[in-house]
Amino acid sequence: MADLEALLAELADECADLERLVARLDAEGMATPTPAPGWSIAHQIGHLAWTDEVATIAATDADRFTSIVGDAFGKALTFVDEAAEAAATAAPEELLTRWHNGRTALAGALRAVPPGAKVPWFGPPMSAASMATARLMETWAHGQDVADALDVHRTPTSRLRTVAHIGVRTRNFAYLVREKPTPNEEFRVELTAPDGSLWTWGPEDAVQRITAPALDFCLLVTQRRHPDDLAVRANGTDAAEWLTIAQAFAGTSGEGRTPGQFDRAQYKP
């Protein structure tokens, strides 16, 4: 069973690392464009703040969350952008305070979820631990967009294991959202951690295999780098196909990044 407190501690650390990148930015700095088309740094932070708030509602008021989903249904392709755009209009200090308060409230809400209960979401319902995992993954991914905008190299940490885990667990979802048949076989995923140790998922004797540095795999499944620019290797046709569609997030996939968009020296472990 996943350790919720450990995951919440990881989430807090990931948020703190990202906050250090943006804490001193003024309005001009927050308006810096990121690799996500149309999104500034303020949009990225605003999106995280909004999503934490909605996740708190999902964990504490299912009826209200259902209403939010209903409102979003008619504008499925725009409601996330609209929420980010609205949040991005706030002054930097106000936006950062909103984000800080929202993630603090979310941690308390997840601690209060009864054991075995599921939290509704835009994708499949999740346990409190899975929600914390998803929030860490998204914070890390949007943090990469901010780091890219600021031309900052982030040192990989052991928190990548949590990001990688959700990337592995969402394999079938990536096929389902594209209306593709899911592979029948389990895959073996072997990742080299930042400290040189090996993280593994799946049976040792699996035919379909993925090997990569953990950072590269996480950049792939969050679609922050193009597969051609990463040292992610597949053995087996099914594994190779997965690398072209992998996504660790709910919803439809965006355009991702283009080959050669980033100098590998910016993110080499």
pLDDT by 10s per residue, the chain, length 269:
579 999 999 999 999 999 999 999 999 999 999 999 999 999 999 999 999 999 999 999 999 999 998 887 777 668 889 999 999 999 999 999 999 999 999 999 999 999 999 999 988 899 999 999 999 999 999 999 999 999 999 999 999 999 999 999 999 989 998 899 999 999 999 999 999 999 999 999 999 999 999 999 999 999 999 999 999 999 999 999 999 999 998 766 566 788 777 766 545 44
**What is the DSSP secondary-structure string of 51-109?**
HHHHHHHHHH-HHHHHHHHHHHHTTTTTHHHHHHHHHTTS-HHHHHHHHHHHHHHHHHH
Contact 245, 221 (CB under 8 A): no
| Res 208: pLDDT | 97
Question: Fold for domain 160-266?
Answer: Nonspecific Lipid-transfer Protein; Chain A (3.30.1050)
Instruction: Kindly report, residue by residue over 81-105, the tens digit of the pLDDT.
Output: 999 999 999 999 999 999 999 999 9
On the question of a common fold for 4-150 and 160-266, the answer reads no
| Res 75: pLDDT | 73
* Cα separation, 127 vs 59, whole angstroms: 10
| Res 253: pLDDT | 57
| Res 264: pLDDT | 60
| Res 74: pLDDT | 72
- Which of the following CATH numbers is that of domain 4-150: 1.10.287.110, 3.90.420.10, 1.20.120.450, 3.40.50.261? 1.20.120.450
| Res 85: pLDDT | 96
* Cα separation, 190 vs 197, whole angstroms: 10
Length of the chain: 269
| Res 260: pLDDT | 76
Phi-psi region of 236 (alpha: psi -120 to 50; beta: other; left: phi over 0): left
- pTM (2 decimals)? 0.93
Domain definitions of the chain by residue range = 4-150, 160-266
